[in-house]
Amino acid sequence: MMGLWDTLRNLVVRKFTQARSSQDLVFSDNQLALLQHPPTPPIQLRYCPALGKKPASNAASQASEKPKKAFDPFESPAPELLIAQVPATNPSHNLVLNKYPVIFNHFILATKENKPQTDVLEEDDLYLTYAALQAWKQDAVGQQGHSLFAFFNSGEHSGASQPHRHLQFLPIEDMKGEDHDGWQVLCETMISPAHKSLPLLHNPSLTFVHFATSLQPGLGAAGLHQKYLLLMRAALASISEGRDLESLNAVSISHDRRTTFSYNLAMTTEVMAILPRRAEASAIPGVANSSIAINGTILAGTMMVKAEEEWHSLCEQPQHVQKILNDITYPRMHDVLRD
């Protein structure tokens, strides 16, 4: 599908190593802890103080300057970060390294054309994402744990940082720390049937609205897109008053292609999952000025803080993770899934 001249894993790892050595990307070291507070599954917490020390913009000087066009890192990716254009024939997307990673080999699939992040994903977005997931896994045959996690942030409450459409990839082996016993990619714990007839799955221990659906090898672009639309409609139906899952075909998820709600989407070779969002960030009780912003990596079971007080508070009181998750998501008020 992608027509790469080497394995995807080789291309990404080689490019990342080169870019880090030449300082064309800025890798931020971080500490990792595993927070456990049943029934919430174990959640990774990363502490990355470097991201909290970026210089503030000079508002006074900016006010005197003419407005500038917002920088688009995906419009013409720097050669030092560009991995490949895909597919090889008539490429529609770029594979490019994340310039500010906190996890090794973090890379991105971005549309060559500047398409909105808030629009409904198209078939080629999903098909190329799934092709990358499969390619990475096939490249590492016989190597346990070598697989990718893909995620997508859409809408003002999702943690999206760029308006140019892009999906992101994190190697699961690079997400794991030395002490990762008990941690599992969160969306792959969503294995219980969520409906009597629809192919929807969930994790009953999670208190917020979420859905997953299984993916099978050989699933084509149209089939992937139909599963995505099913998740979108199920998510919107579950957070909309007066909706039920028996009339999903009547649920309108977009207006002029723009989606009508914020959400995170995640994919592995096994599942596609969705998490509708009602807030981007939450505060930790007792920590002044705390603001924990969450994006689609939460569907991998990982989150990040930039302040030392936030780090110590969550490590000492992991129950606050549940409060944060409840703040940014929609509650499962009743078991509408089985109605």
The structural domains of the chain, with segments of one domain joined by +, span 8-52+73-330
Q: Cβ atoms within 10 A of the Cβ of 151, count?
A: 24
pTM (2 d.p.): 0.92
**Segment 186-219, tens digit of pLDDT:** 999 999 999 888 999 999 999 999 999 999 888 8
pLDDT the model gives residue 338: 45
* 243 has pLDDT over 50: yes
Question: What is the Cα–Cα distance from 29 to 104, expressed in whole angstroms?
Answer: 10
* 245 has pLDDT over 70: no
3-state helix, strand, coil in the chain (%, to 5): 30, 25, 45
* 64 has pLDDT over 70: no
> Residues 273-286: what's their mean pLDDT?
96
Mean pLDDT of the chain: 89
pLDDT the model gives residue 60: 41
Q: Cβ atoms within 10 A of the Cβ of 3, count?
A: 11
pLDDT-based confidence at 145, cuts 50/70/90? low
Task: Give me the half-sphere count of Cα atoms (radius 13 Å) on the Cβ side of residue 90.
Answer: 1
Question: What is the Cα–Cα distance from 34 to 180, expressed in whole angstroms?
Answer: 7
Question: What is the Cα–Cα distance from 172 to 148, expressed in whole angstroms?
Answer: 5
- Range from 14-28, 169-183, 260-274 carrying the lowest mean pLDDT: 169-183
Domain 8-52+73-330 listed as CATH 3.30.428.70? yes
pLDDT-based confidence at 251, cuts 50/70/90? confident
* 337 has pLDDT over 80: no
> Residues 172-180: what's their mean pLDDT?
83
**Segment 39-49, tens digit of pLDDT:** 889 999 999 99
C-alpha 125 chain-centroid distance: 14
C-alpha 286 chain-centroid distance: 28
Query: H or E element: which one contains 225?
Result: helix 221-239
Dihedral in degrees, nearest 10, Cα atoms 27, 45, 128, 20: 10
